[in-house]
Amino acid sequence: MCGRFFRHGVSWADYHAALNMITPEGVDPPEANYNIAPMSIAPIIRPLEHHMPGYELAPAQWSLVPSWWKKPLSEKKFSTFNARSESVNESKTFQGSFRHHRCLIPMSGFYEWTGSKGAKTPFAISLRNRRWFCCAGLWNRAMIDGSEIDTFTILTTTPNDVMAGLHTRMPVIIHPEDYVRWMTAHYNDVYDLMRPFPAFDMHAWPVNAAVGNVRNNGPQLIEER
């Protein structure tokens, strides 16, 4: 499970260095955000549409709405902020996105809570010596109440040794050399990418309980307690 994440400020130059991205002139990159929750708007990286070469950073809402969904969002009662990698190609909700609309979710880390009910401790989890990285995502576009909406989900897999004591799932983290393959290869050729990230490249630390309130934000949320 990955139900909350954070992202430091990332420059257009850094995005462009990671991928052949179209970076708009005169527009600031997305601001840092230390408490991104489901239903929030966050940037995703995806191939340009209409078979144009290159990639773009685009805003999307976190919690995927499949293209076949036509009802108001208030009637959507099933959770779609995460998708299990093991069954993604058999899911009616995620199959089309997995086959045709894979994307990357830039982040600097994510949160998990552990402990007894009512006394859970939040932990931040990140990569060592990396200011930002990308998780595997899926996106889709639906027409809701006459308006187009782009949404995304984060794929999850089994935990590595760092995550095993915190949660039974972890997000699928993609190595930079596999960014393009994840987004553009045939879906049968990306299953090997949906594996736990090496534990020795990750670390976790307890953080401020204030992160539990989605209205709180700022770098103080990831300070070690």
Residue 211: partners with Cβ closer than 8 Å, 6 or more residues away: 4, 34, 35, 111, 122, 221, 222
Nearest residue to 222 (alpha-carbon basis) of 7, 52, 1: 7
Q: Look up residue 26 and give its amino acid.
A: G
Cα(159)–Cα(140) distance, integer angstroms: 26
Closest CA to 87 of 191, 168, 189: 191
Interatomic CA distance for residues 46 and 125, integer angstroms: 24
The DSSP symbol for 199 reads G
Q: Enumerate the active-site residues.
A: 2, 112
Distance of alpha carbon 132 from alpha carbon 108, whole angstroms: 4
Distance, CA of 58 to CA of 56 (rounded, Å): 6
What is the 8-class DSSP label of residue 72?
Answer: -
